[in-house]
Structure 1
Amino acid sequence: MSHIALYRAWRPQTFRDMVGQQHVVQTLQNAIRERRISHAYLFNGPRGTGKTSAAKILAKAVNCLEGPTPDPCNVCDACVGITSGSIMDVVEIDAASNRGIDEIRDIRDKVRYAPTEVRYKVYIIDEVHMLTSEAFNALLKTLEEPPAHVIFILATTEPHKLPATIISRCQRFDFRQVGMEEQTERLRRICEEEGIAADDDALAYIARLSDGGMRDAISLLEQVASFAGGRITLDEAVDVTGGMVAEQFAELANAVRDRDVAAIMALTEGLMQAGKSADKCIENLIYYFRDLLLLKLVPGQHAGTERIVDPERFRAMAESFSKDRLFQMIDTLNKYQNEMRHAAQPQTLFEVALMKICTIPEPGAALDSAARSVPAASAGGRETAASSEVLRLQQRIDTLEQRLEQLMREGVAAGGMPAASPAAGNGGRAGGRTGGAAFGSRPGGAPSASPSIGKVKLEPFAAARGGEAFERIRAQWPEALQRVKEAGVSVHAWLINGEPVSAVDDQVLLAFKNTIHRETTEKPANREVIERVLQAVFGRPLRFVTVMQKDWQAAEGSAQNAAAEPLQWQARRSRLRRASRNG
């Protein structure tokens, strides 16, 4: 039994073979049936979802000897030739390797001539976003005045990189990620047709790893089938793809729950020696804790995971974590996963991520109680570096708060504080307590390192939170982050830790949890890059201002209380009126 080139054997040949793209298929078939064929199409979507396959099927549909027909026959000379690639009038171009203006000019010269073998000349340009600006300009001229016998099909995974002038001249179709159930069913059908024995949980695991791409799912199935002896099992699928088995999940989760860093280090070393990749391990852990969280939030529903073979043990593990802690752990692992893509030592970063989620405190635990527990832990020899750091920071914060309150009572101006005072480093906190006023300069008139830090008045932003303008900014924020990443990976690494929370006029307010991330983002060189990207994404000049997250939460709470105060007075007046009438 041979499993070589399984994807080529199961590549869609008709629209009926397309999986999970019914909205695209129905629209194209109706257009062909009604003879409303466009001169240019844009197929956009994640990798492996059928964009290029759909383009070839469309080429066969319009050129089939029995058509144009929504269902190409795949037996006539035109269909067979297009499938094999021998029809010279149907040209497939990889824009990643043919991205210059010369290649597009060659196309522009040839489109003038009528097709010689079939009804339409079809140009399929894959990864079209890789074309240069000059090539796009040359292509635009052809798209504006196309000959009647030419059809362009552009395929891309990154449509935001295409000029708007190109997109506006194409009919755009968005290909979606294929659902897990549809993928599993298609893999099961392939196994039945090819004589491959496979367990359902193994097929579900392969579907999950493909991330919605049918091509990737079939390629993984071919790889696992080549490895398996007689039957594809879940353990074999996990082993071949470098994943983690259920027992390893349970051991790591137990160590995280017990905050046992020593056990985590031993387990991590064992995983690395077994050939597991750090990025794959952290990805699997995110899925695992996501399933725990889902079971806690929706107890009556199956967790939707193929990794857990013992539901009772899985349920007991979910009960040992609070949902707030699970949220924080998933968020932390996700941040480290993003950083791991650029790390020189991914194993070290994986170990740090696990140690980090071990030290996440349970929500609701007051810092002062943590501080009181430190001496007792020290007496028993169990004091950790994290507890010591928490105590030191808490004591420093308490001292700073006392000094600030004393200065405000005495009426001392903020700019007149002694040069040695560490309160200037806590400008964000002071701003939150004094309605947005903070330290903008140092003694002697020397400007601060970050001129905009601490000068933000939060009242206008708190009043404008949730506005329509801000919602538009938040909806496009992922695109802005991606553009910043393309402009500079290091700038993106600092900016991603900030969250847009409000917007007023031409200013966007970003809230940061970490002072270092905030200060580095505020540096003039980083600010210039970020604001240039913001102007390009939102089409107008935008500046960003920053605040610490705790200060923003305090300002939000004050705004909500201020909004609720008139309602409280109205209720009080109503009670007084009722009392006077009754009296």
Structure 2
Amino acid sequence: MTYKALYRTWRPQNFKDIVGQQHITRTLQNALVNGRVAHAYLFCGPRGTGKTTTAKVLAKALNCLRGVDGEPCNECENCRAVNEGSAVDVVEIDAASNRGIDEIRDLREKVKFTPSMGRRKVYIIDEVHMLTDQAFNALLKTLEEPPAHVVFVLATTEAHKVPVTILSRCQRFDFRRIKPEEMVQRLKEVAAGSGIEVEEEALWLIAKAAEGGLRDALSILDQAAAFAAKTVSPADIHSILGTVQQEVLANMTQYLVQGKTAEALRLISEISDRGKDLRLFTKELTSYLRERLLESMEQRQPAANINEATLYNLLQILVQAEQEMKWSSQPSLVLELAVVKASRPELAGSLEALSSRVAELERKLSGLTVTGGRRPESPVATPVRTPLTKEAPPAAKPQPRIEKAVTDNAPGGQQPINQGDAAGAERVRQAWPALLKGLKEGGKMPLWTLLSKGSPPLEVNENTLTLYLADEFDFKTADKPEYRKYFEWLLAKHLGGQWEVRCVHGKKPAARGTTNPKDDPIYQEAVRIFGPELVTLEDDST
């Protein structure tokens, strides 16, 4: 006997057996019970969600001789004929191969004839969006005013390609993607009825891979049953689909977070050597990171010791890589570059990359404590800032360094100025009202408001002015490149020379102690992030 595929064997024969489309089946059943059946329906939605199946059940219910509550009995002559595919009153048309005007003209002639056995003649036109414009125009009048004994059911996966004139003459039903839990429940029923032994974890993997299409899920289960020796296991599903286990995705995530670039690249090489599709692996990894990010947001706590900002940055990089891999002749190289960028963001050289690393440094420093519960009083690393506006020529790019700040609370509402550079401090203090006036006249009102009312601590060191802002919103406001560049231009205008304005997110640090600065945990963390060649220590004792 010829084997019949699972999706054909287990095709629903009643409205109640259709999975995940209760909003549609209930409407159709009520219409049948109340005698309010429309002359034309449009079923649209993703593949494998039950459009053609629902159309056949509707055709049976319309012609069933012993139907109850809108459900076909599947026992009368008309129901058996539809189930066997021999019903002359139920006509299925594939619009992909019958898309011309001649086929529609022939249909228009045949709809005039009354049904042979049932009460209604049902035309099911699958993939209706494939019809030509001329064919749609020929169908239009018949669809608008068909004979009383005819019902049209148009099915499509691309409703946006159906002309509006056709859409306006149909009742539209949108089929949704089936939820994983509903799909797993149906797969359990099919497996039990077919004598297939399968682990529940394997069923969840199938449901995830099917992406809402039950027909795809049944096809995967059918293939897995033929592949497995006895019981279908998760490993069998991974082998069939070419996917990787959850442990591999977790390991890759940890490598990226911990900056283990070599291990991450080695893992990619192993996956490629096993014949896995790297595009599929990247898609799986983005889905895994998305799930971790959602879990972290819902639980309001870091997932697997990874904060939300890190997960967000990784997800951004890998989503972009997934898009680029579709069109690249070397997808493995695109993925490897993305892995390097994700695990070593400082190599990217962008302001965003440096900002993310500095934010990570500040997060780690906030948790450091010393004996007695006091936090270490140490200098703070400031990142490189590159001018982006054209209001003044760009200054030479400075190297990130560890700077020392001295607290000096100036009386009378004056801005606290570092006294290490007495001449520069005095000049800035005298020019401060003019600087604020220049900001206001230049239209930089957010920065003017922040500096005139917020009074953030300042530090002057030669021709470098550093702003310390504890509030994140204030820091982001003052750290905008156009604001910093304009403020540098004002300083040069009123004080002469070439100035640099830096913004530091955090409180102004106290003076450095007499201990070895290289033993300071902040210095060591800065060296790890930026490298020893980019971090220097300044001796402010003189």
Bin for the TM-score computed over the shorter chain: 0.5 to 0.7
Partner Cα separation in structure 2 for residue 76 and residue 257 of structure 1? 64
Match of 1:403 in 2: 393
Q: Would the alpha carbon gap of residues 352 and 363 (structure 1) be closer, same or farther in structure 2, given more than 3 Å must change?
A: closer
The answer on whether the counterparts of 1:324 and 1:363 sit within 8 Å (CA) in structure 2 is no
Q: Tell me whether 290-299 or 11-20 shows the greater mean CA deviation.
A: 290-299
Match of 2:322 in 1: 337
Partner Cα separation in structure 2 for residue 17 and residue 551 of structure 1? 61
Match of 1:324 in 2: 309
Q: Would the alpha carbon gap of residues 101 and 221 (structure 1) be closer, same or farther in structure 2, given more than 3 Å must change?
A: same
Once the 2 structures are TM-superposed, how far is the Cα of residue 227 of structure 1 from its aligned partner?
Answer: 1.0
Q: Would the alpha carbon gap of residues 4 and 262 (structure 1) be closer, same or farther in structure 2, given more than 3 Å must change?
A: farther
Is 1:143 matched up with 2:143? yes
Once the 2 structures are TM-superposed, how far is the Cα of residue 123 of structure 1 from its aligned partner?
Answer: 1.0
Deviations along 1:252-286, whole A, 9 cap, x unmatched? 12221133333222211211221211221112101
Partner Cα separation in structure 2 for residue 552 and residue 190 of structure 1? 63
The answer on whether the counterparts of 1:72 and 1:79 sit within 8 Å (CA) in structure 2 is yes
Deviations along 1:516-537, whole A, 9 cap, x unmatched? xxxxxxxxxxxxxxxxxxxxxx
Once the 2 structures are TM-superposed, how far is the Cα of residue 130 of structure 1 from its aligned partner?
Answer: 1.7
Secondary structure in structure 2 of the residue aligned to 1:403: coil
Match of 1:420 in 2: none
Partner Cα separation in structure 1 for residue 300 and residue 24 of structure 2? 35
Partner Cα separation in structure 1 for residue 49 and residue 195 of structure 2? 25
Deviations along 1:312-342, whole A, 9 cap, x unmatched? xxx8xx3442212212322332233334334
The answer on whether the counterparts of 1:3 and 1:226 sit within 8 Å (CA) in structure 2 is no
Secondary structure in structure 2 of the residue aligned to 1:327: helix
Q: Map residues 393-542 of structure 1 onto 2, 5 A cutoff.
A: 397=387, 402-403=392-393
Match of 2:110 in 1: 110
Partner Cα separation in structure 2 for residue 150 and residue 121 of structure 1? 5
Partner Cα separation in structure 1 for residue 2 and residue 104 of structure 2? 41
Match of 2:265 in 1: 265
Q: Would the alpha carbon gap of residues 179 and 114 (structure 1) be closer, same or farther in structure 2, given more than 3 Å must change?
A: same
Partner Cα separation in structure 2 for residue 80 and residue 367 of structure 1? 66
TM-score (norm 1): 0.59
The answer on whether the counterparts of 2:32 and 2:62 sit within 8 Å (CA) in structure 1 is yes
Partner Cα separation in structure 2 for residue 322 and residue 240 of structure 1? 34
Count of residue pairs brought into register by the alignment: 378
Could you say what the CA RMSD is over the residues aligned between the two structures, in angstroms?
3.3
Match of 2:27 in 1: 27
Secondary structure in structure 1 of the residue aligned to 2:37: coil
2:14 alignment partner AA: T
The answer on whether the counterparts of 1:122 and 1:150 sit within 8 Å (CA) in structure 2 is yes
Secondary structure in structure 2 of the residue aligned to 1:397: coil
Q: Map residues 254-333 of structure 1 onto 2, 5 A cutoff.
A: 254-299=254-299, 318-333=303-318
Match of 2:424 in 1: none
Q: Would the alpha carbon gap of residues 402 and 552 (structure 1) be closer, same or farther in structure 2, given more than 3 Å must change?
A: closer
Match of 2:193 in 1: 193
The answer on whether the counterparts of 2:64 and 2:79 sit within 8 Å (CA) in structure 1 is yes
Match of 1:355 in 2: 340
Q: Would the alpha carbon gap of residues 369 and 6 (structure 1) be closer, same or farther in structure 2, given more than 3 Å must change?
A: closer
Once the 2 structures are TM-superposed, how far is the Cα of residue 228 of structure 1 from its aligned partner?
Answer: 1.1
Match of 1:156 in 2: 156
Partner Cα separation in structure 1 for residue 388 and residue 482 of structure 2? 20
Partner Cα separation in structure 2 for residue 18 and residue 190 of structure 1? 13
The answer on whether the counterparts of 2:125 and 2:155 sit within 8 Å (CA) in structure 1 is yes
Percentage of pairs with the same residue: 46
The answer on whether the counterparts of 2:127 and 2:155 sit within 8 Å (CA) in structure 1 is yes
2:79 alignment partner AA: C
Partner Cα separation in structure 2 for residue 116 and residue 68 of structure 1? 23
Partner Cα separation in structure 1 for residue 253 and residue 175 of structure 2? 37
Q: Would the alpha carbon gap of residues 202 and 368 (structure 1) be closer, same or farther in structure 2, given more than 3 Å must change?
A: closer
Partner Cα separation in structure 1 for residue 74 and residue 294 of structure 2? 46
Which structure 1 segments of 5+ residues have no match? 302-314, 373-392, 406-432, 437-549, 555-583
The answer on whether the counterparts of 1:256 and 1:357 sit within 8 Å (CA) in structure 2 is yes
The answer on whether the counterparts of 1:4 and 1:222 sit within 8 Å (CA) in structure 2 is no
- Structure label with greater radius of gyration: 2
The answer on whether the counterparts of 2:201 and 2:234 sit within 8 Å (CA) in structure 1 is yes
Partner Cα separation in structure 2 for residue 197 and residue 229 of structure 1? 10
The answer on whether the counterparts of 2:389 and 2:482 sit within 8 Å (CA) in structure 1 is no
Once the 2 structures are TM-superposed, how far is the Cα of residue 75 of structure 1 from its aligned partner?
Answer: 1.8
Partner Cα separation in structure 1 for residue 307 and residue 176 of structure 2? 34
1:397 alignment partner AA: P
2:325 alignment partner AA: M
Partner Cα separation in structure 2 for residue 360 and residue 95 of structure 1? 52
The answer on whether the counterparts of 2:191 and 2:197 sit within 8 Å (CA) in structure 1 is yes
Is 1:346 matched up with 2:331? yes
The answer on whether the counterparts of 1:32 and 1:68 sit within 8 Å (CA) in structure 2 is no
The answer on whether the counterparts of 2:345 and 2:353 sit within 8 Å (CA) in structure 1 is no
1:153 alignment partner AA: V
Once the 2 structures are TM-superposed, how far is the Cα of residue 357 of structure 1 from its aligned partner?
Answer: 2.6
Once the 2 structures are TM-superposed, how far is the Cα of residue 9 of structure 1 from its aligned partner?
Answer: 1.0
Once the 2 structures are TM-superposed, how far is the Cα of residue 294 of structure 1 from its aligned partner?
Answer: 2.6
Which structure 2 segments of 5+ residues have no match? 362-382, 396-440, 445-479, 485-542
Once the 2 structures are TM-superposed, how far is the Cα of residue 349 of structure 1 from its aligned partner?
Answer: 3.0
Match of 1:232 in 2: 232
Q: Tell me whether 266-275 or 210-219 shows the greater mean CA deviation.
A: 266-275
The answer on whether the counterparts of 1:3 and 1:222 sit within 8 Å (CA) in structure 2 is no
Secondary structure in structure 1 of the residue aligned to 2:393: helix
Match of 1:86 in 2: 86
Match of 2:493 in 1: none
Partner Cα separation in structure 1 for residue 56 and residue 482 of structure 2? 53
Q: Tell me whether 61-70 or 20-29 shows the greater mean CA deviation.
A: 61-70
Match of 2:129 in 1: 129
Which one has a larger percent helix, Structure 1 or Structure 2?
Answer: 1
Partner Cα separation in structure 2 for residue 150 and residue 395 of structure 1? 72
Deviations along 1:341-375, whole A, 9 cap, x unmatched? 344443333333333333446979548969x9xxx
Partner Cα separation in structure 1 for residue 4 and residue 482 of structure 2? 58
2:99 alignment partner AA: R
Once the 2 structures are TM-superposed, how far is the Cα of residue 395 of structure 1 from its aligned partner?
Answer: 6.5
The answer on whether the counterparts of 1:52 and 1:155 sit within 8 Å (CA) in structure 2 is yes
Q: Would the alpha carbon gap of residues 332 and 72 (structure 1) be closer, same or farther in structure 2, given more than 3 Å must change?
A: same
Partner Cα separation in structure 2 for residue 157 and residue 5 of structure 1? 23
Partner Cα separation in structure 2 for residue 353 and residue 151 of structure 1? 54
Match of 2:41 in 1: 41
1:28 alignment partner AA: L
Once the 2 structures are TM-superposed, how far is the Cα of residue 251 of structure 1 from its aligned partner?
Answer: 2.6
The answer on whether the counterparts of 1:12 and 1:18 sit within 8 Å (CA) in structure 2 is yes
Highest relative contact order (Cα 8 Å, sep 6+), 1 or 2? 2
Deviations along 1:365-419, whole A, 9 cap, x unmatched? 548969x9xxxxxxxxxxxxxxxxxxxx9675369564289xxxxxxxxxxxxxx
Once the 2 structures are TM-superposed, how far is the Cα of residue 20 of structure 1 from its aligned partner?
Answer: 0.7
